[in-house]
């Protein structure tokens, strides 16, 4: 059965997005600081069709994360576009252009039905309107032996955490404060459903904490 | 000039104490889970006059932290005792018995004046009523070439962080959720005043993140 894997970047004060999120700024004020460690990496640049880049202790974490994933689940805000029903005359097809960096099936949780979207390079977006368990079932079937990545945003991550459906969690902990925004663990309670720290990787500007069951 | 050093244990969801703190339970419900990693350690047991114990990657962090400190600043709640003015007929002399594990001058922030308290083994408690900067000045003078440890609790740590008076911060990050209680960074804003991650130590049940200036 496919492992359900939550990987998300979080500040020292627990935020995964900054304040004043909007359609045009889905990670909020200062939220980009959570991701600065990733942009110089060769492996990240390759995923996004760019040359060059650096290697550091984060490279292997990211490479491993990328290779293990067979399907992704994300929320509507992470997929983006105007809120409300889809405007199919001027469709929003995600932030990533014609060839998104997923290259596998992506399941987008939304309240508004829409036909699947087939992109270049193996990425398909399937829109799921009947809840997190249905999205996960579909993603598991699509992932086969590989893992399902719960990609975010915060609200989606929290729903899966609360339901105890996360088998592994990788926190990319960034040594910065956002001071406001969306906290990963707000309302999650005090139960990690058996997740324990199994690996810590120290890297420039980020610490990778991996938690798993057992 | 003495380095000002904040060392405090924090949960993954950012709490340094659990909910429902009281005079008899100053670290709140579940708060003891933040400290479980320390109790088996030989170096911690030695500090508290006990024999035996284990060594792991936390040992050196704790040893180093202990050796570098020449004076400590703490809040009234961490020192303990009934709230309000001191009852000098039945004085509260701290949680630690006749020979506290500090063995150096300790400055306790309080609203209620009290004469200094000289304990066995080199620990003195001086009660400071004129604010965090005064307590820090006194502690720096007492520490000489050694560091001043801002020991907590959360409210005291936050006041020093907000004022930009912390030169180094060591977070003992414990992979657990408390779900409620006192957050270290609540109201601290988004400014770490130049503190950057300089060292990560992976240890059983805790990750030590050291931040320093420059």
Ranges of each domain in chain A: 4-19+27-83+99-213
Out of B175, B189, B191, whose CB is closest to A211? B175
Residue B180 has pLDDT above 80, yes or no: yes
> Which residues on chain A are in Cβ contact (under 8 Å) with B184?
13
Q: What is the ipTM of this complex?
A: 0.89
CB contact under 8 A, A179 and B189: yes
Find the farthest-apart pair of alpha carbons in chain A and give their distance in angstroms, rounded: 49
CA dihedral for A82, A86, A87, A93, sign (positive or negative): positive
Which of B56, B19, B51 lies closest to B36 in space, CA to CA?
Answer: B56
Give percent of chain B above pLDDT 90. Answer: 85
Please report the pLDDT score of residue A25 as a whole number: 79
What value does the CA radius of gyration of chain A take, rounded to a whole number of Å?
16
A201 CB neighbour count, 10 Å cutoff: 17
Tell me if B190 and A14 make a contact (CB, 8 A cut-off). no
* Residue A62 Cα, gap to closest chain B Cα (Å): 19
Sign of the torsion angle spanned by Cα atoms A102, A105, A111, A114 = positive
Residue of B nearest to A162 (CA): B179
Query: CB–CB of B109/B191 below 8 Å?
Result: no
Establish, for the pair of chains A and B, how many residue pairs have beta carbons separated by less than 8 Å. Answer: 86
**DSSP helix/strand/coil, A170:** strand
The nearest alpha carbon in chain A to B191 belongs to A177
| Percent of chain B clearing pLDDT 70 (strictly above) | 100
Cα separation of A99 and A124, whole Å?
Answer: 10
Task: Name the minimum distance, in Å, from the CA of A187 to any CA of chain B.
Answer: 7
* Average pLDDT, integer, range B192-208: 95
CA angle B62, B64, B1 (to 5 degrees): 125
Do the chains contact at A185 and B211, CB–CB below 8 Å?
A: no
Residue B202 to residue A200, Cβ atoms within 8 A: yes
Please report how many Cα atoms fall inside a 13 Å half-sphere around the Cα of residue B47, on the Cβ side: 21
Mutate to test the interface with B, among A8, A13, A181 (most CBs of B within 10 A): A13
B206-213 and B195-203 as β-strands: parallel, antiparallel, unpaired? Answer: antiparallel
Of A177, A184, A192, the CB nearest to B188: A177
Q: What angle do CA B128, B130, B135 make, to 5 degrees?
A: 50
Q: Which two tokens stand for residue A25?
A: 């700024």
Q: Which of A108, A89, A202 is nearest to A156 (CA)?
A: A108
Tokens of B11: 């949960």
Q: Does A212 touch chain B (CB under 8 A)?
A: no
**Would you write out chain A's pLDDT as a tens digit for each of its 214 residues?**
799 999 999 999 999 999 988 877 778 889 999 999 999 999 999 988 899 999 999 999 999 998 999 999 999 989 988 888 998 888 899 999 999 999 999 999 999 999 999 999 999 999 999 999 999 999 999 999 999 999 988 999 999 999 999 999 999 999 999 999 999 999 999 999 999 999 999 999 999 999 999 7
How confident is residue B140, by pLDDT bands cut at 50, 70 and 90? very high
- Only one residue has tokens 């014609």, namely A98
Order of all β-strands in the sheet with B105-109 = B117-118, B124-128, B105-109, B69-75, B147-152, B4-11, B168-174, B206-213, B195-203
* Paired tokens of A211: 């938690």
Measured CA to CA in angstroms, residue A178 lies from A38, A52, A164, B163 at distances of: 18, 30, 27, 17
Mean pLDDT of B2-30: 91
Residue B214 has pLDDT above 80, yes or no: no
Beta strand pairing call for B4-11 and B195-203: unpaired
The residue in chain B having the minimum alpha-carbon distance to the alpha carbon of residue A211 is: B175
Q: Taking a contact as any Cβ pair under 8 Å apart, which residues of chain A between 114 and 143 contact chain B?
A: none
Chain A residue with CA closest to B172: the answer is A12
| Candidates B173, B177, B205; nearest CB to A190 | B177
**Taking a C-beta distance cutoff of 8 angstroms, is the pair B173, B208 a contact?**
yes
CA dist., res. A191 & res. B121, Å (int): 41
Pick B4-17+28-80+104-110+128-213's CATH classification: 1.10.10.10, 3.50.50.60, 3.40.430.10, 3.30.70.980: 3.40.430.10
Q: Taking a contact as any Cβ pair under 8 Å apart, which residues of chain A between 12 and 41 contact chain B?
A: 12-14, 30
The mean of the pLDDT values for chain B is: 94
Structure tokens at B77: 């709640």
d(CA A211, CA B119): 43
Instruction: Kindly list the distances between the CA atom of residue A160 and the CA atoms of A75, A116, A130, B86, in Å, as whole numbers in the listed order.
Output: 12, 23, 14, 49
pLDDT at A38: 95
CATH of domain A4-19+27-83+99-213: 3.40.430.10
Could you give phi then psi for residue B57, rounded to 5 degrees? -65, -20
Rounded to a whole number of angstroms, the distance from the CA of A87 to the nearest CA of chain B is: 37
Write the pLDDT tens digit of every residue in B95-121.
999 999 999 999 999 999 999 999 999
- Residue B25's pLDDT is 79
CA dist., res. B50 & res. B56, Å (int): 17
Chain B residues with beta carbon closer than 8 angstroms to that of A195: 175
- The pLDDT of B83-103, averaged and rounded, is 90
Cis bond upstream, residue B153 (ω within 30): yes
Q: Do A190 and B12 touch (CB under 8 A)?
A: no
**Does A209 sit within 8 Å of B207, measured CB to CB?**
yes
For A19, name the nearest residue in chain B, comparing CA atoms only: B190
């Amino acid at each position: 059965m496919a492992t359900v894997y939550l990987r998300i970047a979080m500040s020292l004060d627990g935020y995964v997005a900054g304040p004043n999120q909007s359609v045009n700024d889905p990670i909020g004020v200062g939220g980009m600081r959570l991701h600065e460690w990733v942009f110089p990496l060769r492996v990240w640049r390759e995923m996004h069709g760019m040359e060059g880049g650096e290697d550091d202790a984060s490279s292997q974490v990211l490479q491993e994360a990328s290779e293990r994933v067979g399907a992704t689940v994300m929320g509507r805000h992470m997929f983006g576009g105007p809120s409300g029903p889809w405007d199919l005359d001027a469709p929003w097809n995600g932030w990533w252009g014609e060839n998104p960096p997923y290259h596998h099936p992506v399941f987008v949780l939304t309240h508004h039905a829409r036909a699947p979207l087939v992109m270049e390079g193996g990425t398909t977006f399937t829109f799921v309107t009947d809840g997190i368990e249905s999205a996960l079932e579909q993603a598991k079937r699509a992932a086969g032996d590989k893992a399902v990545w719960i990609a975010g945003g915060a609200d989606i991550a929290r729903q899966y955490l609360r339901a105890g459906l996360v088998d592994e969690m990788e926190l990319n902990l960034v040594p910065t404060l956002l001071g406001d925004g969306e906290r990963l663990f707000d309302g999650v309670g005090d139960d990690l459903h058996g997740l324990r720290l199994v690996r810590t990787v120290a890297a420039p500007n980020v610490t990778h904490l991996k938690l798993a069951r057992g």
